């Protein structure tokens, strides 16, 4: 069955030229067991009409989609990894498989892979993905999307029937190939690679490409100011991402410059975690011994990466414009954090921003002093004081009777309930919210690993879907 009439293929990335990518062959797998099919997003890009066999043909054997790339593209980039510059990286276990349009808003989208085999950038790796890694990415992206974070979507997961050996998992472990749907795979590291080779002309071409396809509102900017306007947009998008991470209690774990794309969309999930309580020192990666990417240091890490981007395009932007763009980051992320908290609480902005800032300050003080549950607090006070009775029945109701809650109560009282609070949704009749703590993730995986029981994963995805409908987060990206 062909794709639906909503399907619109593109091959725009190829127009950048072969210096930006390598043509590669996908791995051949001994088995193809379809484990996850994101039908909701498949419908949005016109691929919902594919049969399961056709789905596996495209996303397990990587037969080209109609009108798409004839051969996958392994993208070239460099990057700072834990602040150490690495010129020897690129798409080592993935590739850009296809580009297509979002049928709702017309955005250019990528279908990229993880675990699809070796490329020229694999170094000593096998180019493969563990099934556990694929399951974890599904859980991360589903949860983040529901919480209003602009994230890649886990589009497909197919188990591939190979034993993999990994030092951080009991080996051998099962293998899989993941396909993710993203707004862009152009990273800060893409720019860093061109700057490393002092290829100013290619940098200018890449800026023009990004403006044309990701920031078309800048198309009418004069040529001499277009790069500066581009940098300002990227700063704003990445600031929003950092703010939404913080409001979601999420720790990405590996905020290297090759993991930050120019559209400010979160992607590439490895050692991620959600913080159970407010703890700025909470880290996700066991190998992050210095806490470089700890929860509370994520805004600074993103700002550091933006500075690296500005350095690469400085000849096109100019020092003064670059400093202005980077100088706006702190105020933008603070405001975006306030707006993200309002979305989470289901509240309208105050008449002046000072009231929103007071809410943010009071919340962090309450969470820090009481160590109340991060997610339970947002859940209990969805709609502000309109949820007093619900909060009184909460498992942590005692924390709301404590003196430490007075400031937060006053800040909540200064905000009106938003029409989008959706307090009548069945989700808010639960005693506790849907969460995604590491113990839950490990429990879901254990049932798959020990008994090949996928019911817990399906149940969790269904719970997240209910939460997503209840929160109806403000559209991210754009």
Is residue 446 domain-resident? no
Mean predicted lDDT score pLDDT of the chain: 96
Residue 368 and residue 279 in one domain? no
Given pLDDT bands bounded at 50, 70 and 90, which one contains residue 472? confident
Residue 137 and residue 196 in one domain? no
Structure tokens of 377? 């607090």
pLDDT digits (tens, 9 = 90+) for 203-219: 999 999 999 999 999 99
Q: What share of residues in the chain are helix, strand, coil (percent, to 5)?
A: 50, 15, 40
Residue 139 and residue 251 in one domain? no
Q: Which of 337, 354, 382 marks a domain boundary?
A: 337
DSSP SS3 for 43? helix
pLDDT digits (tens, 9 = 90+) for 269-298: 999 999 999 999 999 999 999 999 999 999
Residue 95 and residue 180 in one domain? yes
Is residue 475 domain-resident? no
Is residue 466 domain-resident? no
pLDDT digits (tens, 9 = 90+) for 185-209: 999 999 999 999 999 999 999 999 9
Matching residue, tokens 């009775």: 389
Is residue 456 domain-resident? no
pLDDT for 473 equals 53
Percent of the chain with pLDDT over 70: 99
Is residue 96 domain-resident? yes
Is residue 440 domain-resident? no
Residue 72 and residue 196 in one domain? no
Is residue 3 domain-resident? no
Total count of domains within the chain? 3
Percent of the chain with pLDDT over 90: 96
- Average pLDDT score over residue span 147-175: 93
Residue 13 and residue 145 in one domain? yes
Q: Rounded to an integer, what distance in angstroms lies between the CA atom of residue 155 and that of residue 45? A: 11
Residue 236 and residue 172 in one domain? no
Residue 76 and residue 180 in one domain? yes
Residue 41 and residue 155 in one domain? yes
Residue 95 and residue 58 in one domain? yes
Whether the Cβ atoms of residue 310 and residue 317 lie closer than 8 Å to each other: yes
Q: Which helix (H) or strand (E) holds 448?
A: helix 438-451
Q: Which of 124, 157, 184 marks a domain boundary?
A: 184
pTM given for the model: 0.96
Residue 64 and residue 161 in one domain? yes
Residue 229 and residue 320 in one domain? yes
Instruction: Give Cα separations from 247 to 50, 321, 429, 463 (angstroms).
Output: 37, 30, 22, 20
Question: Over 60: is that where the pLDDT of 134 sits?
Answer: yes
Question: Over 50: is that where the pLDDT of 300 sits?
Answer: yes
Q: Which of 290, 308, 337 marks a domain boundary?
A: 337
Please give the positions annotated as active site.
258
Domain limits for position 56 = 9-184
Given pLDDT bands bounded at 50, 70 and 90, which one contains residue 156? very high
pLDDT digits (tens, 9 = 90+) for 20-71: 999 999 999 999 999 999 999 999 999 999 999 999 999 999 999 999 999 9
């Amino acid at each position: 069955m062909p794709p639906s009439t909503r399907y619109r293929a593109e091959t725009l990335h190829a127009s950048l030229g072969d210096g930006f990518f390598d043509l590669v062959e996908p791995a051949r797998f001994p088995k193809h067991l379809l484990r996850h099919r994101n039908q909701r997003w498949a419908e949005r890009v016109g691929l919902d009409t594919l049969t399961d066999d056709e789905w596996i043909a495209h996303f397990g054997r990587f037969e080209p989609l109609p009108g798409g790339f004839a051969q996958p593209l392994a993208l070239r980039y460099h990057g700072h990894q834990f602040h150490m510059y690495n010129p020897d990286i690129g798409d080592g276990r993935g590739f850009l498989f296809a580009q297509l349009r979002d049928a709702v808003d017309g955005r250019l989208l990528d279908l990229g892979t993880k675990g699809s085999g070796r490329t020229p950038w694999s170094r000593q790796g096998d180019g493969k993905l563990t099934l556990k890694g694929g399951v974890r990415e599904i859980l991360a992206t589903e949860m983040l999307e529901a919480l209003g974070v602009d994230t890649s979507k886990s589009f497909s997961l197919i188990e591939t029937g190979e034993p993999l050996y990994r030092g951080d998992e009991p080996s051998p472990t099962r293998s899989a190939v993941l396909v993710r749907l993203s707004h862009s795979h152009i990273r800060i590291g893409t720019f860093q690679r061109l700057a490393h080779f002092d290829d100013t002309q290619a940098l200018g071409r890449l800026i023009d490409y990004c403006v044309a396809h990701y920031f078309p509102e800048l198309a009418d900017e004069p040529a001499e100011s277009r790069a500066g306007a581009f940098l300002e947009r990227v700063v704003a998008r990445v600031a929003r991402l950092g703010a939404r991470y913080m409001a979601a209690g999420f720790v990405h774990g590996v905020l290297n410059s090759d993991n930050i794309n120019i559209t400010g969309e979160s992607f590439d999930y490895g050692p991620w975690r959600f913080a159970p309580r407010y703890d700025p020192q909470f880290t996700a990666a066991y190998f992050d011994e210095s806490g470089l990417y700890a929860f509370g240091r994520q805004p600074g890490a993103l700002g550091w990466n933006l500075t690296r981007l500005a350095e690469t395009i400085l000849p096109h932007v100019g020092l003064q414009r670059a400093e202005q763009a980077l100088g706006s980051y702190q105020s933008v992320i603070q405001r975006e954090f306030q707006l993200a908290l309002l979305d989470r609480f289901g509240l309208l902005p105050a008449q002046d921003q000072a009231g929103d800032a007071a809410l943010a300050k009071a919340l962090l003080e309450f969470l820090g002093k009481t160590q109340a549950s991060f997610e339970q607090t947002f859940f209990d006070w969805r709609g502000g004081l309109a949820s007093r009775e619900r909060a009184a029945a909460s498992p942590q109701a005692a924390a709301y009777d404590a003196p430490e809650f007075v400031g937060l109560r006053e800040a909540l009282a200064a905000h009106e309930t938003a029409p989008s609070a959706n307090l009548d949704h069945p989700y808010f009749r639960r005693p506790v919210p849907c969460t995604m703590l590491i113990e839950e993730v490990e429990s879901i995986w254990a049932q798959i690993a020990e008994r090949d029981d996928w019911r817990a994963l399906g149940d969790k995805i269904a719970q997240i879907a209910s939460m997503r409908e209840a929160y109806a987060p403000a559209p991210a990206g754009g």
